Structure 1
Amino acid sequence: MLRRTLRLVAAFVMFLSAVAVGTVATAGTAHADGCYTWSRTLSQGASGADVTQLQIRLVGYPGHGAELAVDGQFGPGTTAALKRFQSAYGLASDGVAGSGTYTKLYALQDDDCTPIHFSYGELNDCNTTWSGGAVSAATAKSNALRTMWKLEALRHALGDQPITVTSGFRSVACNNAVGGASNSRHLYGDAADLGAGPHSLCTLAKQARDHGFRGILGPGYPGHDDHTHVDQRSAPFWSAPTCGI
């Protein structure tokens, strides 16, 4: 009798656990992630730090020649970028960030919030502190993170084949050592030089126009025949004459 009672108690506990698990799975936003976990569904009109975190991951989906503001305000631009992201990954393109969107984002990010195919080390072969550039170390590192999410979008658009970063953040000393321009965007942490690989330099330069890069320099532009340069400057400037840009 005692054994039967214990089995019934155990079965009831398992039932309660299953119900609890089912509830969490249905909620979706309760998923715990090593980098960042969203706790609510987001749509146009929302605001806050969780919107900012979403925007950082959507900066590569602003549309041709556009850029997405990372301001914590979920406006039309964020809605459009989210729809492009959702479409790119085969999700329902409704412009609402819910469990399906978050699940994909969790799969795309490492515990340090970098996208899975890029790392801080790739974007900084100058030093480990991100110091000595034209902005604070924290700003340079933050800029590099946004650049990586743009590169992740670029990579996905080109069939998820590898993209090689040959140069990223530079301190003034590192920039001088390689003969960089005194006003190089590399000093700000928001620039990356891309080498040829599965894709030609022209393919990289042309596709980059759709992923939030305001600066694109490639073959045909002085000093850029062996790489494609992308950055986030204040005024748009694209030049890769060999590529028809």
Structure 2
Amino acid sequence: MYTRTVRLILTFVMIMAGALAGTVATAGTAHADGCYTWSRTLSQGSSGTDVTQLQIRLGGYPGYGSVLAVDGDFGPATEAALKRFQSAYGLTADGVAGPNTFNKLYALQDDDCTPIHFSYSELNDCNSTWSGGAVDAATAKSNALRSMWKLEAMRHALGDQPITVTSGFRSYACNSAVGGASNSRHLYGDAVDLGAGPHSLCTLAKQARNHGFRGILGPGYPGHDDHTHLDHRAGQYWSAPTCGI
């Protein structure tokens, strides 16, 4: 009886020890994600596809008037953007992308890699595909995805209230039908028009300056009194005179 009791006690101790060891081994590990799963910690000096994926999601945190390069190299600008992202969501702002950062990103994205508050359909409401524009379909769709992550950051900065997208990618046919400019950035998939809602058009135009948009056109600029236009043109151009921009 004594031997059996000792054996049971030892077995219980071993089970508990194993369970504890398993807990220690997995504590803080980021879960797998349907869109993309990071498999290592990233910090300054890292490079690769996983850095590129991180930069796409940090595109809305470059700082006032700046644009974060999506080049797969984790440099000072990526670290600064990561710190802003971490601070925005109450994480330790150490500029190192580890389990806590990845878990927050997983929570913010759907399985198709779009941020949870925006969708491909919102950024393409007048075309059946992503073809027919100034770039190939894959590029147009990729540009739209980057815009969505910038909008997600902007939405969070504005108190997590909805942002209304009224126009995104356009084929040449669609652009012509709505009277768009012949060189419109909508043809590239990297432009979005926003309508008023919880926030005024001026509030949207002003806030966009912090989230990586090179082009900002709003109230007071010809043809833009009823929407705020954001894009990723080559050089910075902001004009919304009514808003003081």
* Cα gap change, 1:35 to 1:11, in 2 (>3 Å): farther
CA distance in 1, matches of 2:218, 2:106: 33
Q: CA deviation at 1:11?
A: 8.6
Residue in structure 1 matched with residue 202 of structure 2 by the alignment? 202
Residue in structure 1 matched with residue 147 of structure 2 by the alignment? 147
Q: CA deviation at 1:17?
A: 5.3
Q: CA deviation at 1:19?
A: 3.4
State the Cα deviation string for residues 197-230 of structure 1 (Å, max 9, x = none): 0000000000000000000000000110000000
Residue in structure 2 matched with residue 230 of structure 1 by the alignment? 230
Q: Secondary structure at the match of 2:229?
A: strand
Instruction: Extract unaligned runs of 5+ from structure 2.
Output: none
Q: CA deviation at 1:233?
A: 0.3
* Cα gap change, 1:206 to 1:6, in 2 (>3 Å): same
Larger Rg over CA atoms: 2
Residue in structure 2 matched with residue 127 of structure 1 by the alignment? 127
CA distance in 2, matches of 1:244, 1:143: 28
CA distance in 2, matches of 1:58, 1:194: 21
1:23 pairs with one of 25, 30, 33: 25
Q: CA deviation at 1:80?
A: 0.6
* Cα gap change, 1:12 to 1:187, in 2 (>3 Å): same
Residue in structure 2 matched with residue 157 of structure 1 by the alignment? 157
Instruction: Extract unaligned runs of 5+ from structure 1.
Output: none
* Residue type of the alignment partner of 1:20: G
* Residue type of the alignment partner of 1:170: R
CA distance in 2, matches of 1:109, 1:14: 36
TM-score by length of 1: 0.93
Deviates more, 1:11-20 or 1:95-104: 11-20
Q: Secondary structure at the match of 2:242?
A: helix
CA distance in 2, matches of 1:60, 1:137: 23
- 1:118 has 2:118 as partner: yes
- How high is the sequence identity, in percent, across the aligned residues? 79
CA distance in 2, matches of 1:218, 1:43: 37
**Which stretches of structure 1, 4 residues or more, deviate above 6 A after TM superposition?**
4-11
* Cα gap change, 1:7 to 1:170, in 2 (>3 Å): farther
Q: CA deviation at 1:6?
A: 9.9
